[in-house]
Amino acid sequence: MLPIIDSIQVAPGTVSPGGSFTVTVVAHDPDSKSYTLTGNAIDSLGGKTAFSGQVNISDPLTFELTDPSGAGFVITPRANQPGVFDCKAP
Amino acid sequence: MTDYNLLARVHDLAGNTVTRNAVVSVLTGTVTKADPTKLPLANGQVRNATFAYGRNLAAGQTYIDPVTGVTVLKLTSATYPVANTAAMKGYATSGPRISQPWVGSDGHTYYTIALDSPNGFIDLRYDTFASSNFRDPGINCAEVDMAFSLNQATPRHCFSFTGGNVLRRYDTATGNEVVGNGFPKTISGQSSIRWLQTQLNDTWIAFMNNSNHVYLAYKPSTNVVRTMTGARSGLTHDELHLDLLNPIVYLSTDNEPNANAPWNLETDTLNKTANGVVFQSDDHCTPGLGFVGGMGHWQANGGAYTYQGDINKGTHIILTTAEYHSANADFYHNGAWCMNTRGPNVVDQWFVTSREFQDNAGTKIRRYALAFVKADGSQLRLIGHHDSSGNSGDTYFKWSKPSLSPDGKLLMWTSDMNGSNRTDVFVAKIPVS
Per-residue model confidence (pLDDT) at position B16: 87
Are the Cβ atoms of B26 and A16 closer than 8 angstroms?
Answer: yes
Which amino acid appears at position B195 of this protein? Answer: W
Query: Which of B8, B13, B25 lies at the smallest CB-CB distance from A13?
Result: B25
Are the Cβ atoms of B8 and A8 closer than 8 angstroms?
Answer: yes
Per-residue model confidence (pLDDT) at position B236: 86
Query: A16, A24, A61, A62: best mutation site toward chain B, by most B Cβ within 10 Å?
Result: A16
A26 in B contact zone (CB under 8 Å): no
Over residues B137-157, the pLDDT tens digits come to: 999 999 999 999 999 999 999
Across the range B350-372, mean pLDDT stands at 90
Per-residue model confidence (pLDDT) at position B420: 92
A67 in B contact zone (CB under 8 Å): yes
- pLDDT-derived band at B306, boundaries 50, 70, 90: confident
- pLDDT-derived band at B3, boundaries 50, 70, 90: confident
Per-residue model confidence (pLDDT) at position B299: 45
3-state secondary structure B16-57: CEEEEEEEEEECCCCCCCECHHHCCECCCCCCCCCCCCCCCC
Across the range B1-27, mean pLDDT stands at 87
Are the Cβ atoms of B13 and A60 closer than 8 angstroms?
Answer: yes
Element (H, E) at A20: strand A20-28
**Rounded distance between C-alpha atoms, residue B96 and residue B32, angstroms:** 21
Within 13 Å, how many C-alpha atoms sit on residue B164's CB side?
9
Over residues B114-124, the pLDDT tens digits come to: 999 999 999 99
Query: Which of A1, A59, A87 lies at the smallest CB-CB distance from B13?
Result: A59
- pLDDT-derived band at B185, boundaries 50, 70, 90: very high
Over residues B314-360, the pLDDT tens digits come to: 666 666 655 566 555 678 899 999 999 999 888 899 999 999 888 88
Q: Cβ(B288)–Cβ(B244) under 8 Å?
A: yes
Within 13 Å, how many C-alpha atoms sit on residue B118's CB side?
17
Q: What is the pTM of this model?
A: 0.80
Are the Cβ atoms of A87 and B24 closer than 8 angstroms?
Answer: yes
A20 in B contact zone (CB under 8 Å): yes
- pLDDT-derived band at A17, boundaries 50, 70, 90: confident
Per-residue model confidence (pLDDT) at position A54: 86
- pLDDT-derived band at B271, boundaries 50, 70, 90: confident
- pLDDT-derived band at A55, boundaries 50, 70, 90: confident
Are the Cβ atoms of A5 and B24 closer than 8 angstroms?
Answer: no
Are the Cβ atoms of A61 and B10 closer than 8 angstroms?
Answer: yes
Per-residue model confidence (pLDDT) at position B426: 98
Over residues B187-206, the pLDDT tens digits come to: 999 999 999 999 999 999 99
Per-residue model confidence (pLDDT) at position B65: 96
Per-residue model confidence (pLDDT) at position B360: 81
Are the Cβ atoms of A67 and B155 closer than 8 angstroms?
Answer: no
Across the range B274-287, mean pLDDT stands at 68
**Rounded distance between C-alpha atoms, residue B122 and residue B114, angstroms:** 7
